[in-house]
Every structure is written in C-alpha cells, then in structure tokens.
A = this chain, B = another copy of it.
Amino acid sequence: MYRIGELAKVCEVKTDTLRFYEKHGLLAPSSRTESGYRIYTQTDADRLRFILRAKAVGFTLAEISELLSIELDKANWACADVKGLVDDKLSHVEQKIAELERFRRSLSSLSQACCGGPESAEHCSILEALETNCDQIRCENHRHDAKQTHKQ
C-alpha cells in the first residue's frame, strides 16, 4: 500500500505524472482513504512498472493503453496482435532513426567542411552550403511528404 508520494518515489516518477496517468486512464489507485488520498496496491505498482517498461522501449501512452487492455484480457488476444504492435512500433522507430541518420550525415559533412577557426565567417563553408543547393545536404526528408505534395 502506497500513498501517491511513496509510489512516486519508489518508481522515480512525479506525483503529477501519476495523477496524469490516472486522468488518462492508464493507472488508477485501487482505493482512497476517507479523506480522499489515493491508495495504490502492489498490483497498481506492478501496473505502473509495466507502463514504465513500455515507455522505456519507446511506446507512447496511447500505445501503452492498448497494451494494457490486452494485458488485462490476454485470453482474448493472440500473440500476433501483440507482436503486431511491437513490429509497428519497430518500423516507426527505424524510420525515425533513418531520418536522424540523414541529419547526422549532413551535419557531419558540414562540420568537416568547416575549418572551425577564428577566421571571419565570410567564407564559411557551412554557410555557403546552406546558401546553395549542394550535395552535403540530403533533402529527401519531407516528413509527411504525401500530404504535403498533395494538397497545398
């Protein structure tokens, strides 16, 4: 049995976060004291740790809600459902990594092109690259390309 501050401390989150999770249907305390204080059981704490682990692998709170509803009704779900969620997330993460890798390569090549010295920036290769359509900058990165190109 924990009060909100105690559970927050053992799980290293803020009390605000626990209230936020409650408001969003992820984690409600099993009961309240007469005066209205939240009382969390060990089961509640386990559920919180489930949430935090899911966050640690990159799931959003909305996705965690899905996972939790499966978790509470396992018998009516298949492994395929769970693996589907994981694989969707995985491909999303991989896409994001690819975008950041493009950033990294561009930035790294910009950085290498610049002397980085105390010289005036008047002939700085970085600025020149940003002024020009150059191959140091990979531009295949319009995030919501389809939407962008379509309407507008």
Contacts and interface: CB of A to CB of B under 8 A. Distances in A.
Interface in A71-122: 71, 74-84, 86-87, 89-90, 93-94, 96-97, 100-101, 103-104, 106-108, 110-111, 114-122
Interface in A108-140: 108, 110-111, 114-122, 124, 126-127, 129-131, 133, 137-139
Contact of A152 (B14, B57, B90): B14
Contacts of A121: 70, 74-75, 77-79, 81-82
Which of A119, A130, A133, A138 has most B Cβ within 10 Å?
A: A130
A100 B39 CA distance: 35
**Which interface class (under 10, 10 to 19, 20 to 34, 35 or more) fits A?**
35 or more
Contact of A57 (B13, B97, B110): B110
Chain A at the B interface: SS class: helix
